[in-house]
Structure 1
Amino acid sequence: MVGSLVRSSGHLAVEGFSPEAVVTAEGVSKKFCRQLRRSLWYGVQDIATDLVGGSRQGDRLRPKEFWALQGVSFQLLPGQALGLVGSNGAGKSTLLRIISGLIKPDLGQVRVRGRLAPLIALGAGFNPILTGRENIYANMSILGLSTRQIQARFDAVVDFAEIWEAIDAPVQTYSSGMTARLGFACAVHIEPEILLIDEVLAVGDVRFRMKCYQRLARLRDQGTAFVLVSHNPNAILNVCEQSVYLKKGQLVAVGPTEQILRQYEADLSLGDGQSTAEFLRLPAKDPDESLGVDITALGFQDGEGNWQRHPTSGDPISLCVEVFSHRPIQRANVGVLISAVAGETERVLTLTCAAEDEYLTLPAGRSRVLMHLPNMGLLPGVYNLKVYVKEGVSSLDIVEYFRFAVHPGRLVSQCLFYQPRSWQVIPGSSLGA
């Protein structure tokens, strides 16, 4: 795609946009219908309206329609890397498809200046009956290259995709990884001014992914602008200086990536509709029902003993487990298991007194067990906490479910955890001294 393209419906103007921008989105809105039959009927109506020169009334929702995007405006400057941040269903992929020209907006317009390469669905445009060689020529010609230009880059494309042994075989015989590698190689070798990247950098093995990132870095040095969609904060932080935050089709914020990610993480941990309690209070059991120790309260406390509804990444906090012991326990083992609520509810942390050989002595009556954390090392998000108290192999009490949210504090998105540390300068020293 070469030159200056406009995908529009109506004309809007946004003040403050740079005339040098390679992509300018002005008040972009797109609606879809949730029912297939009704959607097809609406499509026929829209085509008929266009043929007779009528107005679609794109600002109105018809029955069963919803806004996938509404009033989104931003710009992409030459050589800039822009991140698109948002939960599933926020409209990120829809926006990329509008920019790439796959679909048109119902309202607003998108201006594109320069050759554009969409890395949205790698290999989706390949003809499965044609060979890899034939698909390279077809795909790269669609992306704006002449036959002579394709011939000059053909070997580099196949070398990058690492499919010489299968280049003359039909693409339908390729694995999904081979097809994705070939699609990526075609896109990056047209030397585009604009790259649209939608969660496609997980193709191949680790070595191939490293090669992809190195190629993208070279393109960036040559002035290629990026729009990157990823649910990995590390990728956004490492590549993008500016980011756009979308939420349910609405533009929430545009700004520096660090600031946008803080806001996004705060919404994930607090604004996702998942309730979190300040602390959990449980009644003590009847002595005949108790196994010797009852957990009566559970939560996080600050240094002054106040319950904290939301721990903050990087800040000191204590996990407090209040217990009632019907008899003294000399070697109590308290275990803490924390799982992430998002994704596959994977286990992220397991701590037990037994593993550290620090058994606890619980007196008869009420007491508090405090696990002091000099820094909350969890990333911002929502977690489930499980706590148990054992004596030897015998379980005395267990709390299976306590949901809590971690606030974003210091910037820890570039890490898997927050590492407590201190810094020191040693004057006059050298390695090996």
Structure 2
Amino acid sequence: MLEEIQPQDSDLLISVDNVSKKFCRNLKQSLLYGVQDICTEIIGVSRRSDTLRPQEFWALKDVSFQLRRGEALGLIGANGAGKSTLLRIISGLINPDTGYVKVRGKLAPLIALGAGFNPILTGRENIYANMSILGLSTPEITARFQDVIDFAGIADAIDAPVQTYSSGMAARLGFACAVHIEPDVLLIDEVLAVGDINFRVKCYQKLAQLRQAGTAFILVSHNPHVVLNVCENSLYLAKGKLIKAGETEAVIRQYEEDLSLAGADTALGIMYLPEKPESESLGVDIVSLCFKDEQGNILTAPLCGEPAYLCVECKAYREVEYANLGVLITALSGQNERVLYITSASDNEPLKISPGKVEIQMQMPYVCLLAGVYTAKIYIKEGVCSFDVVESFRFTVKASKITSRSLFYQPRKWQVWNK
């Protein structure tokens, strides 16, 4: 149920109290339940909203939190965790089955940019229709109209039907409409990835201005660096349940630790690969992968800012004069963005391999990866001849130093010179 907040706490904008929402996995059964629920409401009979019927599941279960003026709250979790469902309940698009949501002030949902546009109407007509739905009067829209067009950067197409716009143009117009109503609360669901880099920079600058004016945010993003740099506090959802709430760094660390549990095959810090018979080998095979410290001990998880050696054990059936080892690392907890790509050839370090078992080490004086979960693609070849490749070596980097709100770890020393 959506209610207005009473005026006792002037800074409280959103209060979510034990909210739950269930859905049905079967379409026909879902339609039947919908008809049954409408009938029970018409005849005034209370329905059992707190129990699951056959083929139903909880998309959200007993979630509670509060949002105050000027705060930025992150929502973190895997796909299907309930993040978008929660935003849709807060925005009033769907009702919770149990619990209450109380909202004060003007709310702008950036859940699906441009989704409310009429494709037949022009951009100009859609600005007036969209912003009026978001609570502005016609004179107020007229006063801000030029600012919306300038922000979206679509002046040349403003009198063309929206159905002729590209998806990026429609997204830019939707964002411009939402932020120029000057809302009290912005609900942002993975929409800051739209547009080119210049438009994204403009979006972040506008959000910073709104926040200084007192606008509060709820931000959903799969990129942990975005959440770290925007939100002081976050919620971690998993399968509809609130797992952890609090400081963003601690919440993200819990989320990434849970992700790393899926890599149970490397829980001991070493990944073994089956050895091939010589008849199936291309000359050199990777047989194990791990990290070691400077004394040769296996590290179950390298530490950010500390030395570590990536060790690739190979079995060679012939001599290779100019082997090239490549390591491509991506962040598992983000959007699979490439973090690091290193090859021995690009470092002008040709590797000579003799027949038998050998261990190739990439020795890192400092691990500059932030705490998190990563996967590495590792290959070995000579020239254009590829010997072997491991598509996914999953590993976890843990924190030994404070690295929050950074994109990488910078090794450093401090000194004062007296002059």
Q: Same fold (TM over 0.5)?
A: yes
- Residues 151-189 of structure 1: CA distance to partner in whole angstroms, max 9, x if unpaired? 222222222223333333332232222222222122112
More deviation, 381-390/238-247? 381-390
For residues 108 and 280 of structure 2, the distance between their equivalents in structure 1, rounded to whole angstroms, comes to 67
For 1:381, which of 368, 373, 377 is the aligned residue?
A: 373
- State the TM-score, normalized to the length of structure 1: 0.84
1:294 offset after TM fit, Å? 6.2
Mean CA deviation greater in 315-324 or 58-67: 315-324
1:340 is matched with which residue: 322, 325, 330? 330
Does 2:240 correspond to 1:258?
no
Matched, 1:128 2:114: no
CA distance in 2, matches of 1:292, 1:163: 57
Instruction: Report 1:118-267 matches (<5 A).
Output: 118-267=109-258
Distance 1:385 1:306, change over 3 A: farther
Q: Which of residues 389, 394, 398 is equivalent to 2:388? A: 398
Q: Deviations over 1:409-429 (max 9, x none)?
A: 14556555434333444444x
Q: What secondary structure does 1:400 align onto?
A: strand
- Residues 331 and 46 of structure 1: CA distance in aligned 2, closer, same or farther (over 3 Å): same
Deviations 1:336-368 (Å, cap 9, x if unpaired)? 323438488676544444443334556776554
User: 1:193 offset after TM fit, Å?
Assistant: 0.8
Report if aligned partners of 1:119, 1:196 keep a CA contact under 8 Å in 2.
yes
Mapping of residues 91-130 of structure 1, within 5 Å: 91-130=82-121
Equivalent in the alignment of 1:14: none
Q: Write the letter of the residue equivalent to 1:250.
A: K
> Is the contact between residue 122 and residue 161 of structure 2 (CA under 8 Å) also seen in structure 1?
yes
Q: What does the per-residue CA deviation read over 1:22-44, in whole Å, with 9 as the maximum and x for residues that have no partner? A: 10101111111112221111111
Measure, in 2, the Cα distance between the counterparts of 1:324 and 1:150: 70
Distance 2:167 2:199 in 1: 14
Distance 1:55 1:298, change over 3 A: same
AA aligned to 1:305 is G
Residues in 1 aligned to 2:285 and 2:146: alpha-carbon distance in whole angstroms: 70
Q: In structure 2, do the counterparts of structure 1 residues 68 and 136 end up closer, same or farther at CA, with 3 Å as the change threshold?
A: same
Aligned to 2:296, which of 294, 305, 308? Answer: 305
Larger radius of gyration: 1
Which of 22, 26, 30 is the equivalent residue of 2:21? 30
Which residue does 1:431 correspond to in 2? none
What percentage of aligned pairs have identical amino acids?
A: 57
The one-letter code of the counterpart of 1:245 is: Y
Deviation at 1:248, TM superposition (A): 1.3
Is 1:6 paired with 2:3?
Answer: yes
Aligned to 1:83: 74
- 2:330, 2:376 within 8 Å by CA — same for their partners in 1? yes
User: TM-score, normalized by length of structure 2?
Assistant: 0.86
| Aligned equivalents of 1:341, 1:54: Cα separation in 2 | 51
**Contact 2:301-2:397 at 8 Å conserved across structures:** yes
Query: Given the superposition, is the C-alpha separation of residues 162 and 426 from structure 1 closer, same or farther in structure 2, using an over 3 Å criterion?
Result: same
The answer (yes or no) to whether the contact 2:113–2:191 under 8 Å persists in 1 is yes
Gapped regions of structure 2 (runs ≥ 5): none
Query: Helix, strand or coil: the match of 2:41?
Result: helix
Q: Distance in 2 between matches of 1:213 and 1:138?
A: 25
1:63 is paired with a residue of what secondary structure?
coil
Structure-2 change in CA distance of 1:284 and 1:248 (3 Å): closer
Letter in 2 for 1:313: C
One-letter amino acid matched to 1:262: R
Aligned-residue offset at 1:76: 0.2
Residue type of the partner of 2:182?
Answer: E
Cα pair 1:7 1:104 within 8 Å, conserved: no
* CA distance 1:307–1:41, change in 2 (3 Å): same
What count of residue pairs does the alignment treat as equivalent? 413
CA contact (8 A) 1:313 1:406 kept: no
**Alpha-carbon distance change, 42 to 399 in structure 1, aligned in 2, over 3 angstroms:** same
**Partners of 2:41 and 2:91 in 1: CA distance:** 22
> Which residue matches 2:398?
408
Farther off after superposition, 278-287 or 329-338:
278-287
